[in-house]
Each structure stands twice: as structure tokens, then as C-alpha cells.
A and B are shown apart, each in its own frame.
Chain A
Amino acid sequence: MSAPTDTVARAAGPGRATGSRGGHLTRKRRLFWPFMIPALGLYLAFLVLPTLATVVLSFTKWAGSGDTPEPNGVDNYVQMWNNDSFQYSFQNTLIYVFAGGIGTFLLAFLFTMVLRDMRGGKAIRAILFFPNIVAPVALGMFLGFVFKYQPGKQGLANFMLEHVGASAAKFLDPANVTWVVTASIIWASSGFFITILMAAVDRIPPYLYEDADLAGASPWQKFRNITLPLTWDVIGVAGVLWTINALKIFELVFVLAGPGTYSPPNQAWTLGIYVFDRTFGSNGTPDFGAACACAVAMIALVSFLVVLLRRLMRRDVIQF
């Protein structure tokens, strides 16, 4: 089968490839824009322009239902900052980014220390990844049952607590739910980061570890002196991924902290829920201007955190 194709290719090849190397470059340059424009056009139309529109609309008052946006300066931002619901959303989002991030990465590091030279490590890695394949909404619904509080008919979590003699906890109380969600997210996402980090660990030449073993290094010393420095760039990228994911946490809180249709109590909100509530209105007129202002704040926050993280993580790349 391959022979005739090859013949055809060879026959056609020289015919087209007449001329010098310069001609090839010229043609390449000529093709640059025809190939570039569709991608650039789509990117502009579906990402850059909507983002710019969001910024512009954040300085207007607009119900978004047939009326015309009216400029109102920085009013949306001032209102937002003075708003209790926004304050809760902002604080909770930071809790998810930092408490959730620290928890997730501690867990991920712990597993990279243990999994590397553990028998069946590959299988365990796959199992740890499982929570990632479940949609967050389904996870939220499921955890709603797990964290159920009903004396005599407790959910799994309280059943176990009572089984070991502790008293049942009101996990879904709006005052506690942020921490319950943080724990759930750590549980759900650490598998993802373990997978990424382990891929980086697998690249490290095994003789480095063998050498360390011969020198009698403890697992912590191996982690501190080999794994960490040699996976540093990957950890940095994973940190950025985490920050972006944590900032847009929405579904899990929405279904776990509330009835699943209406926004949960504002004590449990995240910035994503704030945008949703202002866009679709808890009970009436949407406020697109306010929603856009919060979306802009989210972009600013994520940019700030990512730049900060990149700065903190900046090191010379170690070649190996």
C-alpha cells in the first residue's frame, strides 16, 4: 500500500519544490497571514472583545433585558466593595485559593514522596485521580448526602463520627460550609496535582535517588534536595493552574451550600456566585453592570495572584 503512495509523493514533490530556499521562505511568509487570520479572528471575536466589553460594561448601569447601558462611572465598584455579600465572596474565595491550595499541595507532596518508590504506585495514582472525573455538580449532590445531619438517620460523615463516639457536626451550616467545601476540594483535586507532579518526578534520573540512598538520605531529604529543586518549574505551573481553578469555584458551593436552585446564603458565596447572582438576579431584575464589575475584579485578582506566584517561584532552571 505504501509504495504507490510514496511514488506519488516523490513524483509530485520535486515538481512543486522548484526554486531556492529563499523562495520557500517567501511562500512560507505569504502563507503566514492566511493561516493566522482565522485563529486571530476567532480569538478576537470570542475572547478579546467580550473581555473588553465586560470592562466597558462594568462602568455602566444595565439590566441587560432590552434596556440601554447607562454610564455610571465607578459606582459599581464602590457599591461592590461596600457590599456585605461581596466581602463574604471575596474572603471565601481567598480561603479556597490559600487554605485549599496549601492543603492540596501538601497532600500532593506527601504522595510524591511516598508513591515514587512504592509498589503499585501507578495504580494508586490512577485511583487518586478518580474524583477528577466526576462533575463538580454531581460531587456536590453526592456530598450533600454524605454530610447530611439528621439524628438517627445521619449521612456517612456523621455516621462515622458518631460511630467513633464523637458528636455529629452540622457540616452544611452556612458558617461551616466554606471549610467543608475546602476539604472536599482538597480531596477532589489533589489527585490531579499528584498526577502532574508525579509526571515531573518520573523525569528525574533514578541514579540521583540511588545515590542519595547510598548516602543514607531520609525520604524528606530526598524530597527536599532532589524532588523539589528538579520539579520546581512544574510546581510553578501547577500553582498557577490551582489559582485559576480555585478562583472560579462555583458549582460545588452552589449545590452544597444551597438548595441548588437559588443562591446559597451570602455567607457561603464565592466571587463566581456573586457574578451569577448579579447576572440572573436572586429574584428579579438582573444587574449586568455589577456582575461585570465583579468579573473585572476576578480578572484583576487572578492576574495579581499569578504574577505574584511566578515572582515567588522564579529560580534558575536546573538542567539535568
Chain B
Amino acid sequence: MRVARGRSGKLSVLTVGAAVSLVLAGCGSGADTTAGGGENALPGVQQYLDAPCPEAGTKPQTDKEFTYWSMWTADEPQGKVLQKAFKCFQDKTGVKVDVQWLGRKAYTQNLAPALNTDNVPDLFDQDVSKVGAAIMTPGGTQGVDDVFAMKVGEGDKTVKDVLSPSSYDFPQNKDKEGKNFMVPYTLQSSAWWYNKDKVAVKDFAEPKTMTELTALFDKAGKSAISLDGDIPFYNMYYFTQLAERYVGPGGLYKAATDKTGQSWKTDPGFLKAATETAKLPKYLIDGWDAAKFPQIQQRWADGDSSYLYVGSWAPSETREYLDKQGSGQKINYGSFQFPKPDGATHDTVEQMSIGFSVTKKAKHAEGAKAFMAYFLNKDILSGIPAVADNLVPRTDLAVPDDLKALKTVMDDPKKEHVLQYDGIDGIAGGKWQTDVFDPADTSLLKGKLDPQQFVDQLAAKGAGFWKTQG
């Protein structure tokens, strides 16, 4: 169950347990591979794991250990990279890391309740929106600005020197005192994915207009787009991607938090975005609305459909699936962004930072912070692209082939960076999305609401939501 994924569809202990039962019941596929094994293996996994440990730039003076509650599991690629980092950190500084592999829900199911006690980890990780909503807001984190001045073990280079500013320097990463509460080590974004060997005809060009995009889908035939419709976060991409291009960074967030709900109607961009979104459902694969993740995504990997819009974890997930299938099938991953629709004024790209934070009650903050700096050392951090097939917030490390197109877009200085979904998924602890957005969004994609009704419903239900929130 090695799955690298940020925002959505993470496999819980619950699911894994049930899957194990199923395997025991004889329904499992059987073939299991370790990270990097199989015919879809990434080159350089073993090379990374066997490489010598770099020196630590910052050594803790007093701490001999610290505890870390991980969002990963030990057998995931990220888990393997972290284990190598712990080993190296202990070799070079003598500080032992006491790790608990808790998975993606650690921050709400383990950490949030633990904040009522003194039994908290020193270090934990998640994406900045989640940490902000669940841990920083109730006062569970401490500022980590001092980490940015720490040396990473590459001469005099500090954390601040190696990180791209757009990965940490934005309002959502500031606590109540204005200090950063997270230091990123992974970046995520999203894109249209396709198999270059299959889709790319000679005249394939990245679509620059919505007409060109739909023309691509027309060419793809009946099942152009795969979408696992049981994951609301996946359904959400289409409208939010298009709306961000009309209303710019912060626009969706502003409308969603408008207590009267009227912004949805007064800004014409939302209706236009909904109108563009409504052009897509006819290309969705049959069965997307009765989906059971990850079946539909696997149908894309199998070649049943041509395009898939999800996050930058798409290659690592589908690669693993193909590996387990053992059919020898490979995907030559290509990606492109949503085009700027007619009348839209913002050239945006979404970005989400995943990183380490330190708890307020941490007993070994010094050790934890030194490790945060050490993990950004290029010889350690390079495991994230090399082993986990993910992007990092440094510009000087190798980029996995699958993600090169996406990384180019993200590093493009002309692009406006927007936080994933413009952060509307974190509003009111996620309740706004569940109660107001998701039902309307599903109805728009299913054709039960037309664009005008969609916008009207967001306005009406949004106003109702905020009224009861008090």
C-alpha cells in the first residue's frame, strides 16, 4: 500500500486493514512490490539509499533525541527517504529520532486531541492548509523562523538560501504573531495528465484556449476524461481551476467567506467559469459518478481514457498500480495546465507546500529544528524526487521526468501562484466545502444544475451556511 498523494484519496489504516482482510479472503491481486521495484522502477532509488550521509550544517547542543509523528507510513517512498535521513542525522549529530508512522490523518486523529495533553511530538508534518486550520489556529504550533537561518550542510548555505520563496512566504503560512509555522520539503500542484505515447499525435500542442482543450477531448473519443467522482477534492478541480483564472488568487476564498453569498453573483467571473466547467461533463468517462477510488484512475492508467486531472502525485500512484499489475505496461507521462479561458485575466498555477512544523509544547524543539534544516540538504532532499517521484521547493535539484513540464510551469516567474483550491477546502474546518460547495459542484458536473443555477445555489446555500455558523 505505497501511495504518495497529498490532498486526496489517501489510504487510511481502516482501508488498509480491510484490504488485508480481502487479500486473506483470496481477492487480492497478490503481486506486491517494494518501493522502486518492478518494471516501472525509478532509476536511482538504490543509488540514493546507498549514498553516504552528508555532514549536518546545524548540530543540536543539548538535545539527544526528539519525537516525530509522520504523515507517511514506513513503507511508502517518503517513509524510506525519511528513514535514511534519520539514520544519517543520528550518525552525524548523535540525535535519535523517535518516529511514529501514523499516516495522513495523524494531524487530526492523533495530534489534535493530543494537544490537550503534554504528550505531543516535537515534530510533525502535513500540508500548510491542514496544519493551519487544525493545529496552528488553536495555538498548537510555534514559529519556525529561526530554522530559515540554519545551515543545511552545504558550506554557508542556509535554509533561506536554498528554498524558493514562493514555497513558504505567503499569508497562509503565518501564525497569529506573523511568524512562519511550516518549513516545506515537498511541493504539489495539479495538471491534466496524459500518456505521450498514446495521445500525442504529431500535431499535439498544449491547448491555449478552451476550444482547443475541448477539441482534444473530441478527438479522444467517448471516454476522454477519467475522474474518481467519490472524492470531492477531485471533482472540485474543474470549477476552481477555471474560476481562479477569472478571479485571480484569493478571489474564490473571498467569495466563499462572504457572509451574504452575493459575491458569487456580483463577480461575473464565477458564472463564466461555471459555464466553461459545464462544457466538460460530456467528456467524463461513463461511471465516474458511481466510482470507487482508485478504479477510475486505474482505468486511465489502463488506457480506457486519455486524460486525467489530478495532483502531481498522479505518476507515482499510477506507476505503482501498473507495477502491481505486472503487465509490463508503461506510461510516458505528459502534463499540461488548464488554458486561460476567453475573458479570463489571470495566468495562474496552483501550488501546495507540505512541510515540517514544531509543536508549541515540544520538549526537544532544538533537535527537531536542526533536523528540519538537515532534511533540506541536497543529498538528503534529493530522495523526494528520486525515490518518491515528487517535487521539492528547491530549484537546483533534479526533477523527475514525469514532472518536468509541471515544474517548468511552477518555476515560471510570469505565472501567478495560487494556493491549492485557493484554500476554500479549509474554510470552517472543511464544513463549508462539504455543506455548500460539494453538493452544488456534483450537480453541476452531473448536469442537474445549469451554470446560472449553480452560482445561485452557491450564493443561497453559502449565505444560509454563514447564518447558522453565527
Q: Which residues of A contact B (CB under 8 A)?
A: 63-67, 72, 75, 78-79, 82-85, 135, 137-138, 140-142, 144-145, 148-151, 170-174, 176, 251, 254-255, 257-267, 277, 280-287
Contact A259 B429 (CB under 8 A): no
User: Chain B residues near A72 (CB, 8 Å)?
Assistant: 470
Q: Are A66 and B430 in contact (CB under 8 A)?
A: no
Contact assessment for B115 and A137 in the assembled complex, using a CB-CB cutoff below 8 Å: no
B431 pairs with A282, CB closer than 8 A: yes
- CB contacts (< 8 Å) of A144 on chain B: these are 292
B429 touches A265 (CB 8 A): no
Query: In the assembly, what is the distance between CA of A158 and CA of B233, in Å?
Result: 27
Contact assessment for B430 and A283 in the assembled complex, using a CB-CB cutoff below 8 Å: yes
Q: B18-26, B189-197, B272-280, B363-371: which one contacts chain A?
A: B18-26
Complex-state Cα separation, A82 to B431, whole angstroms: 13
> Which residue of B has the minimal Cβ distance to A285?
B429
The reply to whether A259 and B230 form a contact with Cβ atoms under 8 Å apart is: yes
Bound CA span A264–B140, Å: 28
Would you call A150 and B21 a contact (CB within 8 A)? no
Instruction: List A contacts of B422 (CB < 8 A).
Output: none
Partner of A281, one of B12, B290, B429, B469: B429
Q: Are A141 and B468 touching (Cβ within 8 A)?
A: no
Chain B, interface SS category:
helix
- Given A75-B470, A173-B290: A261 in contact with B464 (beta carbons within 8 A): no
A143, closest chain B residue (CB): B292
Q: Which residues of A contact B293 (CB under 8 A)?
A: 259-260
> A141, B22: Cβ atoms under 8 Å?
yes
Q: CB-nearest residue of chain A relative to B17?
A: A137
Is residue B104 contacting chain A, with contact meaning CB distance below 8 A?
yes
Task: Kindly state whether residue B15 has any CB partner on chain A within 8 Å.
Answer: yes
- Known: A66-B115, A142-B27, A172-B292. Contact between A265 and B232, CB under 8 A? yes
Minimal beta-carbon separation of B11 from chain A (angstroms): 6
Q: Is the CB of A66 within 8 A of B116?
A: yes
Q: Which residues from A are CB-within-8-Å of B134?
A: 65, 281, 284-286
CB-CB under 8 A from B316, the residues of chain A are: none
A287–B431 alpha-carbon span in the complex (Å): 10
Is the Cβ of A172 less than 8 Å from the Cβ of B135?
no
| B residues adjacent to A (C-beta < 8 A) | 8-12, 14-15, 17-19, 21-22, 25, 27, 104-105, 108-109, 111-113, 115-116, 129-130, 132-135, 137-140, 228, 230-233, 286-287, 289-293, 295, 299, 360, 425-426, 429-431, 433-435, 438-439, 442, 461, 464, 467-470
Other than the given A66-B360, A261-B11, A281-B133, 10 more pairs (CB < 8 A) read A63-B112, A66-B139, A66-B140, A85-B431, A141-B21, A173-B290, A260-B293, A262-B231, A262-B232, A284-B108
Residues B295 and A283 in contact, CB atoms below 8 Å apart: no
How distant is A240 from chain B, measured CB to nearest CB, in Å? 29
Partner pick for B108 among A67, A258, A286, CB 8 A cutoff:
A286
In the A-B complex, list the 4 residue pairs whose CB atoms are closest, starting with the nearest: A284-B133, A283-B430, A66-B115, A170-B290
- Inter-chain CA distance A262–B104, complex, in Å, is 11
Contact across chains for B287 and A263 when beta carbons are under 8 A apart: no
Q: List, in ascending order, chain A residues with CB within 8 A of B137's CB.
A: 63, 284-285
Name B103's closest neighbour in chain A (CB-CB): A261
Whose C-beta in chain A lies nearest to the C-beta of B12?
A: A261
Known A-B contacts A261-B11, A265-B439, A284-B429; the reply to A150 vs B295 at CB < 8 A is yes
**Are A85 and B286 closer than 8 Å at their CB atoms?**
no
Kindly list chain A residues whose C-beta atoms are within 8 Å of the C-beta of B115: 65-66
Q: Is the CB of B435 within 8 A of A259?
A: no
Residues of A near B14 (CB, < 8 A) are 137, 251, 254-255, 260-261
Q: A283, B22: Cβ atoms under 8 Å?
A: no
* Contact of A141 with B18 at beta-carbon distance under 8 Å, contacts A65-B116, A84-B435 already known: yes
| B15/A261 in contact, CB under 8 A | yes
B13 (CB) vs chain A CBs: closest residue:
A261
Given A151-B287, A266-B435, A283-B433, answer yes or no on A64-B469 (Cβ-Cβ < 8 Å): no
B438 CB contacts on chain A under 8 angstroms:
265-266
In the complex the two chains form, what is the Cα distance from A277 to B138 in whole Å?
A: 18
The docked-state distance in angstroms from the alpha carbon of A258 to that of B293 is: 8
Q: Within the assembled complex, what's the spacing in Å between the Cα atoms of A173 and B231?
A: 12
Within the complex, the shortest CB–CB distance from B240 to chain A, in Å, comes to 14
The residue among B9, B108, B470 with the most chain A CB atoms within 10 A of its own CB is B108
Q: Flag if A280 contacts B108 (CB, 8 Å).
A: yes
A149–B290 touching, CB < 8 Å: yes
* Closest CB in chain B relative to A258 CB, distance in Å: 6
Residues of A within 8 A of B19 (CB): 141
CB-based contact A151/B105 at 8 Å: no
A276 CB → nearest B CB, Å: 10
Question: How many Å lie between the Cα of A253 and that of B458 in the bound state?
Answer: 27
Closest B residue to A266 by beta carbon equals B434
- Closest Cβ of chain B: how far from A235's Cβ, in Å? 33
A84 to B135, alpha carbons, bound, how many Å? 27
CA distance A82 to B140 in the complex (A): 31
Whether A265 contacts B230 by the Cβ 8 Å rule is yes
Question: How far, in angstroms, from A149 to B470 measured CA to CA in the complex?
Answer: 42
Decide: A260 and B139 in contact? CB cutoff 8 A.
no
B17 touches A284 (CB 8 A): no
Chain A residues, CB < 8 A from B133: 281, 283-285
A282-B129 Cα distance, complex, nearest whole Å = 12
Q: Once the chains bind, are A148 and B135 in contact (CB under 8 Å)? A: no
The reply to whether A151 and B286 contact each other, CB–CB distance below 8 Å, is: yes
A150 to B302, CA, bound (A): 13
Are B291 and A172 touching (Cβ within 8 A)?
yes
Measured CB to CB, the nearest residue on chain B to A171 is B290
Q: Is the CB of B138 within 8 A of A65?
A: yes
